[in-house]
Amino acid sequence: GALPERHPLRAAGTMDAPLLQALTGRTPDRRPVWFMRQAGRSLPEYRSLRQGTAMLDACLDPAMAAEITLQPVRRHDVDAAIFFSDIVVPMRVAGVDVEIVPGRGPVLEHPVRTAADVAALPELADAALDPIREAVARTVAELGATPLIGFAGAPFTVAAYMVEGGPSRDHLLPRTMMHADPAAWRALAEWAARTSGAFLRAQVEAGASAVQLFDSWAGSLSLTDYRAHVLEHSTAALGAVADLAVPRVHFGTGTGELLAAMRDAGADAVGVDYRLPLEEANRRLGGRTVLQGNIDPALLAAPWPVLTEHVREVLRGGDRAPGHVVNLGHGVPPGTDPQVLTDLVGFVHDQPVERAPR
Ligand code: CP3
In a domain, 355, yes or no: no
Closest-CA residue, ligand 1 atom 3, reads: 37
The pLDDT tens digits of the residues spanning 105-122 come to 999 999 999 999 999 999
Instruction: Report how far residue 311's alpha carbon sits from residue 318's, in angstroms, rounded to the nearest whole number.
Output: 10
Instruction: Report how far residue 315's alpha carbon sits from residue 348's, in angstroms, rounded to the nearest whole number.
Output: 8
Decide: 218 and 252 in contact? Cβ < 8 Å. Answer: yes
Give yes or no for residue 1 having a pLDDT over 70: no
Give yes or no for residue 354 having a pLDDT over 90: no
In a domain, 274, yes or no: yes
Is position 339 annotated in a ligand binding site? no
In a domain, 357, yes or no: no
The pLDDT tens digits of the residues spanning 291-338 come to 999 999 999 999 999 999 999 999 999 999 999 999 999 999 999 999
Q: Distance from the CA of 39 to the center of ligand 1, in angstroms?
A: 9
Q: How many CA atoms lie within 13 A of 249 on its CB side?
A: 29
Nearest atom within ligand 1 for CA of residue 59 = 9
Closest CA relative to residue 69, chosen from 12, 129, 166, 147:
147
Q: Where in the sequence is the domain holding 285, given as residue range(s)?
A: 8-350
Q: Distance from the CA of 153 to the center of ligand 1, in angstroms?
A: 11
In a domain, 110, yes or no: yes
In a domain, 356, yes or no: no
Decide: 167 and 106 in contact? Cβ < 8 Å. Answer: yes
In a domain, 3, yes or no: no
Mean pLDDT of 78-93: 98
In a domain, 180, yes or no: yes
In a domain, 2, yes or no: no
Residues touching ligand 1 (Cβ under 6 Å) are: 36-41, 50, 55, 82, 84-87, 100, 102-106, 151, 157, 214, 216, 331
Closest-CA residue, ligand 1 atom 29, reads: 105
Instruction: Report how far residue 210's alpha carbon sits from residue 79's, in angstroms, rounded to the nearest whole number.
Output: 12
Q: Average pLDDT over the chain, rounded to whole? A: 97
Nearest atom within ligand 1 for CA of residue 39 = 1
- Please list the active-site residues: 37, 41, 50, 86, 161
The 3-state secondary structure of 25-38, one letter per residue:
CCCCCCCCECCCCC
- Give Cβ neighbours of residue 339 (< 8 Å, ≥ 6 apart): none
Decide: 105 and 167 in contact? Cβ < 8 Å. Answer: yes
Closest-CA residue, ligand 1 atom 33, reads: 105
Closest-CA residue, ligand 1 atom 37, reads: 105
Closest CA relative to residue 282, chosen from 184, 358, 186:
358
Closest CA relative to residue 188, chosen from 168, 200, 173, 202:
173
Give me the CATH number covering residue 90: 3.20.20.210
Decide: 250 and 258 in contact? Cβ < 8 Å. Answer: no
Three-point CA angle 133, 135, 136, nearest 5°:
65
Q: How confident is the model at residue 233 (pLDDT cuts 50, 70, 90)?
A: very high
Mean pLDDT of 57-69: 98
Q: pTM for the whole thing?
A: 0.97
Mean pLDDT of 229-250: 98
ipTM: 0.95
For the beta carbon of residue 72, count every other beta carbon within 10 angstroms.
29
Q: Distance from the CA of 105 to the center of ligand 1, in angstroms?
A: 8
- Site to substitute for ligand 1 among 87, 234, 249, most atoms within 8 A of C-beta: 87
Closest-CA residue, ligand 1 atom 2, reads: 37
For 240, which DSSP code? T
Instruction: Report how far residue 120's alpha carbon sits from residue 123's, in angstroms, rounded to the nearest whole number.
Output: 9
Closest CA relative to residue 288, chosen from 270, 307, 312:
270
Q: Distance from the CA of 331 to the center of ligand 1, in angstroms?
A: 8
Q: Distance from the CA of 40 to the center of ligand 1, in angstroms?
A: 8
Q: Which residues of 260-269 are buried (b: 16+ CB within 10 A; e: fewer)?
A: ebbbebbbbb
The pLDDT tens digits of the residues spanning 122-175 come to 999 999 999 999 999 999 999 999 999 999 999 999 999 999 999 999 999 999
> How many domains does the structure of the chain reveal?
1
Decide: 325 and 19 in contact? Cβ < 8 Å. Answer: yes
Is position 161 annotated in a ligand binding site? yes
